[in-house]
Structure 1
Amino acid sequence: MLGKQWSYLLKLIQDVSAVFSITINSFLILLVLTKSPKQLGAYKWLMIYISIFEILYSILDVILVPQHYSHGPTFLVIVGIQNKLFGPSGLTLLNSFYWGFFGASMAVFAVHFVYRWLVVSENPLLETFNDRRIWLWFSIPLWYGLTWVGTGYILSAPNNSTSKFIRENVKEIFELEFGEYIYLGPFLYETMDDGSLKIHVMPFIGLGIISATIVSSVIVVLVFGYLCYDKINRLVTTTTASVKFKKLQRQLFYSLVIQTLIPFVLMHIPAGIMFLFVFLDIDLGVYSAVVSMTIAIYPAVDPIPTLLIVENYRKTIIKWFGCAPKTNSIRNSTFDSSKT
């Protein structure tokens, strides 16, 4: 029954998080379109891009109700087929898209850091964000996502060895018969009857590919994050940039840093720990559902730093929800916001 209890809790967290994610990301899109300072430039389209991405991620999470599950040298994303809008084939395809969203999330923030560096360094490549070439930047997360889709759908597809290995364990924990769910996930190796170890090559190739995407994304974030931080600090000590420009760039940088920490803490670190346990053949079992829960929470909390750190948005929220002091202080706050 423990698996059933985790499933009920997971469903509740996914539903609540999805409602909150759709609401807060839609609110952020509204603020970006109506209350952004002029100095924001093309960055507002990146902010809208990630908000739409997170809304779609939440919707897919609710449709699938995916459960991450680790058993020995395999980790799976399991989706029950009962009371679903799609059949097993459709759910398997959507499950691979779910993998794709996870992979694309890393590239989204890498692109953000590159853009922030282009702005503060006044690099000529910044012009590529001001015309149709911006779609080339937007396509980078798409390619990352498609890599993960292919890894899930092709290299980690169900097979007889994996099904035989997980059938009884899933039935015992989740009380699901084999035909009541679909899954995607690599089965890395198995011990044969004679004691020899059989390595499954294709899943290892898939794991190597997605590991490469993770490493490349982390390197881009760290390198361009440091370059942004260094450049913004040097901006503060010079007089060539306006005070408003410096202030806004610092706000956006810190917002982006916190926004990037959120998926690392809620998605990549839990998933990385699960990958490690799979390599070490340590069975997490039903407790792998923690990964499903943290992934569901991510789109709901990710917009919050932008809403609180960017001054224009923060002041607008205070004004709209009646939290600002009365009389002159409101007029002063509104006047300050309009100036930025």
Structure 2
Amino acid sequence: MGTYKYLIIYFCIFSIFFSILEAIVNPFILSVGSVFVVVMNLSKTIITNRSICQVLVNMICGCFGVVISLIAVHFIFRYFAIQREGKLKYFRGKYMVIWFFIPIMCGIFWTSTTYYFLKPNDRVTLILKDHLKLVYDVDTENIVYTGSDYFIDDLKYQFNFEIIPGMIIMATIIIISLSIVALFWIKIYKAIKKLDQQGQSDFTRKLQKQLFYALVIQSCIPLFFMYLPVSLFLFLPVFNIQIDKMGHIVTLLYAIYPSIDPLPVILIIDCYRLSLFNLFRKNNRVGELNDIPSGRDNTF
């Protein structure tokens, strides 16, 4: 698998980190009117320091920036691999470090954005107070959150201009990532169509198609599990659209994403799928052998 295995390992390591962080934070996403927040319940975590918990909430949000940028990097790599024009050299050595650094930087930008531009404030806390108590039986004194309100006065529809820089940064990361994915998806599709004309071996064509299909499905997963739900959660409240019930769905999708994401690669690419099936066959065979009588008479 060459350099590609390092991308897979990188993604797996991040998924493990994300899963651990999600288990610690146990966030739930909430939208009330024009307010959108990601909440951490302090009564359900072993960490008692509010400052640390606040940073952890921001970090769980920053993971979204890492994921969408990493998907974009995957598409660029696959296009270079299919081209066979020597551009894979830009995914080796010092260049590989740069590619690995890009998702981390996007995550840092996203985390910093939520920390500085979407910090808790008295107005949002007051709006959340009754809702949290009624729906979740949680007091605002026992939570930390990141998020904001699009308006500073609902009656006069006075827009909250303080959050504009943060929303621009997050929207920019989403748009750039989606644009790269769409552009290189088209390029990869066209390149695969030309494989037959370039005299590639059957094995190469088959492997490239499997990688492409896996990548497409692996991109649809964050699209429907992260891109769309999180984007709707972020931007629908600006129209004062109540999506409180959707918050439970967004929270669920965001939480189970890491466990689902590796499945396309494991199930579509032959070498991984066969290895997995052989592992189960081996375990079943061992179990069957253990069930076979030894033939020795143990009666006394």
Tell me by how many angstroms 1:166 deviates: 2.0
Q: Secondary structure at the match of 1:322?
A: helix
1:307 to 259, 266, 270: 266
**Superposition pairs for residues 174-193 of structure 1, below 5 Å?**
174-191=136-153
1:115 to 77, 97, 113: 77
Q: TM-score, normalised by structure 1?
A: 0.79
- Per-residue CA distance 1:47-91 (angstroms, 9 max, x = gap): 111111111111111101100000111110000111423221111
| 8 Å Cα contact 1:73/1:190 also seen in 2 | no
Q: TM-score, normalised by structure 2?
A: 0.90
1:71 to 21, 32, 46: 32
1:200 to 150, 160, 167: 160
**Superposition pairs for residues 11-90 of structure 1, below 5 Å?**
40-86=1-47, 87-90=49-52
Distance between the aligned counterparts of 2:269 and 2:53, measured in 1? 39
Aligned-pair identity (%): 29
Distance between the aligned counterparts of 1:55 and 1:267, measured in 2? 17
Distance between the aligned counterparts of 2:97 and 2:74, measured in 1? 14
Distance between the aligned counterparts of 1:114 and 1:308, measured in 2? 22
Residue type of the partner of 2:232?
Answer: I
Deviates more, 1:79-88 or 1:48-57: 79-88
- Per-residue CA distance 1:103-135 (angstroms, 9 max, x = gap): 110001100000011111124431122213201
Residue type of the partner of 1:238?
Answer: Q
Q: Secondary structure at the match of 2:198?
A: coil
Residue 173 of structure 2 is aligned to residue 224 of structure 1: no
| 8 Å Cα contact 2:29/2:247 also seen in 1 | yes
1:213 to 173, 187, 191: 173
Which residue matches 2:198?
A: 238
- Per-residue CA distance 1:163-185 (angstroms, 9 max, x = gap): 22222222221111121111100
- Per-residue CA distance 1:223-279 (angstroms, 9 max, x = gap): 01110110111012331x232222111111110110010011111111222234312
- Per-residue CA distance 1:271-324 (angstroms, 9 max, x = gap): 222234312212222441210100111111111111111111111122121189
Tell me by how many angstroms 1:162 deviates: 1.7
Gaps of 5+ in 2: 286-300
Distance between the aligned counterparts of 1:276 and 1:197, measured in 2? 16
Distance between the aligned counterparts of 2:232 and 2:173, measured in 1? 17
1:295 to 247, 250, 254: 254
Residue type of the partner of 1:143?
Answer: M
- Per-residue CA distance 1:24-43 (angstroms, 9 max, x = gap): xxxxxxxxxxxxxxxx2101
Distance between the aligned counterparts of 1:133 and 1:276, measured in 2? 35
- Tell me how large the CA RMSD over aligned residues is: 1.7
Q: Secondary structure at the match of 1:85?
A: coil
Residue type of the partner of 1:205?
Answer: P
Which residue matches 1:104?
A: 66
